[in-house]
A and B are shown apart, each in its own frame.
Chain A
Amino acid sequence: MSGGATRRTLGGAASRGLAFVLLATLAACTALEGPRRGAAPGETTPETVTPGAAPTQEGEPSAAGAPARRRNEPAGATQALLAEARAARAAGSYAQASATIERALRIAPSDPQLWVELGEIELASGDPAQAATLARKALTLATDDSAVIADAQKLLRAASGR
């Protein structure tokens, strides 16, 4: 009986007035709920156009002095990324260096020089076991490039503590 009455009361036109009375109560209720949170969070700030700000160091397009490659691989791009990664490693930014070298590896996955560099980064950042594995990986790819083989073997020795 009283449930039905409640519903009728709320459902009727009188509820408008009642609702406004209740608002006062509500103001108190809602005020008790705690402080408001800040504005809706933003997304990553979009980059603005900065003419002339090249992100990569420009490599020699012909990559003079780079070892011979099996395929027509884009030496300019990988050499530029390799230089960037080496600079980041020298500056101690190992995560940045390895992200950059991985970018180069996606372009030229069987370039042993890049794997040696990734191994150097791992060694510098304190993972000699990983560095040794990457040196061995480089050696499987570099069977006729004496300079890279020497680099990989040096890395392997350093990583194995020999």
Chain B
Amino acid sequence: MARFARSGRRFRNATLRYTLRAVALCAAAALLYAGWLAWSIGREFEGRRWDLPAKVYAAPLELYAGRALAPEDLVGELKRLGYREDPRLPGPGTYRVGLDRVEIATRGFDYAGDIEPARFISLAFTKGRIDDIRDERGEDAAIARLDPLLIGSLFPAHGEDRLIVAPDETPPLLPAALIAIEDRRFAEHHGVDPLAMLRAAFVNLSAGEIKQGASTLTQQLVRSYFLSNERTWTRKLHEAFMALALELRYDKDDLMQAYINEIYLGQDGDRAVHGFGLASQFYFGKPLHELDLHELALLVAVVRGPTYYDPRRHPERALERRNLVLREMADNGLVTRAEAQRAQHGKLDLLSSSRRSATQSAFLALVRRQLAADYATSDLERAGLEVLTTLDPGVQAAAERALTNGIATLGPNAQELEGAIVVTSPHTGEVSALVGGRSGEGFNRALDARRQIGSLIKPAVYLAALESGRYTLASVIDDAPIDVPLDNGDIWSPHDYDGEPRGEVPLIRALAESLNLATVRLGLDVGLEPIAAKLGQLGLAQKPKLYPSMLLGALELTPLEVAQIYNTLANGGFRVPLRAVRSVLGEDGQVLQRYPIKMEQAADPAAVYALDQALVQVMERGTGRTARQQLPADLTVAGKTGTSDDLRDSWFAGFTDDHLVVSWVGFDDDRPTGLTGATGAAKIWVRVFGALEAGSYSARAPDGLETVWVDYLTGEPSAARCADAVPLPLPAEDARPRSILAGCAGESFGARLKHIFRGRDER
């Protein structure tokens, strides 16, 4: 017994000693651990405060007399910008539609140092055009701009996006409402609210699970930093502790502003919507300070559970909670009963998802790529830059519609078909729209799908031929079978698409009908080296391998690279690098960088002019004919089809003075589509073009060229009256001897003379 007791005492002594040591060790460990927690929350808080993804804006809508713009399109744009219709025009961001005029109080914007003030403008329309535009004194205003549409931000790869608002951009009602709804004792507590905790603990104990939260705003802020939502006691403790640490170091205003900019408020695809600034754009399409009471209340309501109260998915739930928030706000004296009552009758007024464009992420990727040359990723994602881009929201919407609706018409396999579209303004090289696939997210085919371009390469072959001075569009080449010995000893025997050699044809017809045999013969005569060099001058960055198959487009390019080459053709042979960004502004609005128009002459203007006229004939008589017929009869447009081997890729590139559109259609796994350029991509292309406001392609013949009527089938001189006569620009020395005695092909000499003496046919 005694022995037992003694050993027990010894045991107790030892236990005590060990326990004391353990406690001391634990205390030290806990101290270290706590220090680490406090340090990490401090670092997170400081880091997040400066986490400002670059804001990206579309091109502003310019308003001037003569601009093609229907009043309903203007109103659509105003709504996209979050302008509110209000007959009193109470302030910037409002408009009213009268019987014959649309009147706008614009918001104003600083366009890279070029300030557009907020102002009043009044517009009248006739036949889908702005007829006149007046200022508030009723005088003619030459031109005005709307503020640019915010299209997104360059948020980091982990998918969190923010639109930071400063305290002076935050409506004072917002913090007050948050305190009333989420954390009444925010002003008094030190990060945790023991009273609220007790209350919650009681509820949770009686329910047998953690049901009610008693998180203060500070705790919610901490939770949002660490993205974990598990409800365990350890996490709760960490959270409470970090909240205490934050409260110790920062004042309430800082914490409230951080909360407003940080809290999770919704999900937009793979993008997490954080902060009230971005949520305001995401749900209502307008800045936070322009929200009406019922809209602000909805955002406060969503805080409690952005998934559960998702106003788009669960409108009734969201509405109910919004009205609860409004009642609480009235109970707390933040608004009057009457105001709350009125707001409760408001609809949710959400921006419809059709007006949000997920596809703009494809364009944003291009923006990132252009900026990557000059900015580190961390600067783009954190430095609060503003990026003014070239995106035209109207063109972008048209291109997206064209792809979605157009692909659906492309036969039984249309379900899995993919596509891409690039739209540029040829003279300035600005990219006005970019579609990277049917869904806005994921693989960006416009930038990253390298596909065989097929006959899209032919204009480069013909341009090199014309520049050599040995060929004109009327020169005749043989579209007959050809065997090309290759370096490795093989023989390459290309064939025409329909397997039917045409025999002797003029260049114009060989290009318009995209004849392979004639093109190979022409290309081999001109030489692979000059053709590859020409491609480089037109804007191709990579140097193609000099295989004869290059002449038929055995060359893999992205739609954007194709657009660069065709943009040079559409711009009279002047290469201007395609640009998606006009300028970058720093946090305080100063211009960090401008990306101005820079041009280089890449080809002889006369040869490009002749080539472009041939591309007009592609549309009038050749492979682009079907597409051409769906456009207005008086529109002159130039274009080219492209089809790769076994019909794996279907391309179309075509332009006028105002737009170049490149479209591609194919399967991601490269299997044959059964579509040619004409039966696939051209159908998408024509949908884009049909929706655009476009003037004709209208270049002028340079000195030294004369436009002559030539027989399309033979290249012989022809009279303008003949069915197959096409007007071709030819070098003056080639043109003169041809024109006098021209008749139609197959016509007797006597008949020709008769026409000449009657003198009827000269147009």
Given A96-B114, A99-B594, answer yes or no on A74-B64 (Cβ-Cβ < 8 Å).
yes
- Contact status A40-B167, CB under 8 Å: yes
Select which of A2, A23, A40, A45 is within 8 A of B26 by beta carbon: A2
B166 at the interface (CB under 8 A from A): yes
In chain A between 30 and 89, which residues have their CB closer than 8 angstroms to a CB of chain B?
30, 33, 36-37, 39-59, 61, 70-77, 79-81
- Contact status A71-B22, CB under 8 Å: no
Complex Cα spacing A141 to B571, Å: 10
Select which of B23, B29, B166, B250 is within 8 A of A42 by beta carbon: B166
- Contact status B574-A106, CB under 8 Å: no
A50–chain B nearest beta-carbon distance, Å = 5
- Contact status A81-B105, CB under 8 Å: no
- Contact status A51-B35, CB under 8 Å: no
Given A47-B116, A99-B114, answer yes or no on A58-B108 (Cβ-Cβ < 8 Å).
no
Complex Cα spacing A29 to B143, Å: 59
- Contact status B700-A59, CB under 8 Å: no
Which range holds the interface residue count of chain A?
A: 35 or more
**Which residues from chain A contact B425 at a C-beta distance below 8 Å?**
106, 109
B541 at the interface (CB under 8 A from A): no
B34 at the interface (CB under 8 A from A): yes
B30 at the interface (CB under 8 A from A): yes
Given A44-B589, A46-B108, A98-B596, answer yes or no on A73-B66 (Cβ-Cβ < 8 Å).
yes
Given A49-B92, A118-B597, A133-B574, answer yes or no on A39-B167 (Cβ-Cβ < 8 Å).
yes
Nearest neighbor of B426 in chain A, beta-carbon distance: A109
Select which of B135, B244, B254 is within 8 A of A19 by beta carbon: B244
**Which residues from chain A contact B42 at a C-beta distance below 8 Å?**
30, 33
Select which of A9, A49, A140 is within 8 A of B605 by beta carbon: A140
B14 at the interface (CB under 8 A from A): no
**Which residues from chain B contact A140 at a C-beta distance below 8 Å?**
572, 605, 609, 699-700, 702
Nearest neighbor of B599 in chain A, beta-carbon distance: A133
- Contact status B427-A109, CB under 8 Å: yes
Nearest neighbor of A1 in chain B, beta-carbon distance: B22
**Which residues from chain A contact B585 at a C-beta distance below 8 Å?**
44
**Which residues from chain B contact A76 at a C-beta distance below 8 Å?**
64-66, 140, 142-143
A13-33 interface bits toward B, Cβ cutoff 8 Å, 1 = contact, 0 = none = 001001100110111011001
Complex Cα spacing A25 to B39, Å: 12
**Which residues from chain A contact B142 at a C-beta distance below 8 Å?**
56-59, 61, 76-77, 79-81
- Contact status B29-A130, CB under 8 Å: no
- Contact status B248-A109, CB under 8 Å: no
- Contact status A11-B140, CB under 8 Å: no
B601 at the interface (CB under 8 A from A): yes
**Which residues from chain B contact A103 at a C-beta distance below 8 Å?**
62
Complex Cα spacing A18 to B698, Å: 82
Cβ contacts A to B, 17 pairs, < 8 Å: A2-B26, A6-B30, A11-B234, A18-B27, A37-B50, A40-B254, A41-B50, A42-B169, A43-B587, A52-B136, A58-B139, A77-B67, A99-B112, A100-B114, A102-B582, A103-B62, A140-B700
Known: A43-B164, A43-B386, A75-B66. 11 other contacts (CB 8 A): A22-B35, A26-B34, A29-B39, A39-B166, A39-B257, A40-B167, A47-B107, A56-B143, A102-B597, A137-B572, A143-B702
Residues on B lying within 8 angstroms of A by beta carbon are: 22-23, 25-27, 29-31, 33-35, 38-39, 42-43, 46, 49-50, 52, 55, 59, 62, 64-67, 91-92, 105, 107-120, 132, 135-137, 139-143, 164-169, 233-234, 237, 241, 244-245, 248-250, 254, 257-258, 261, 384, 386, 425-428, 430, 572, 574, 582-583, 585, 587-589, 591, 594, 596-601, 605, 609, 657-658, 695, 698-703
Residues on A lying within 8 angstroms of B by beta carbon are: 1-2, 5-6, 9-11, 15, 18-19, 22-23, 25-27, 29-30, 33, 36-37, 39-59, 61, 70-77, 79-81, 95-96, 98-100, 102-103, 105-107, 109-110, 118, 130, 133-134, 136-137, 140-141, 143-144
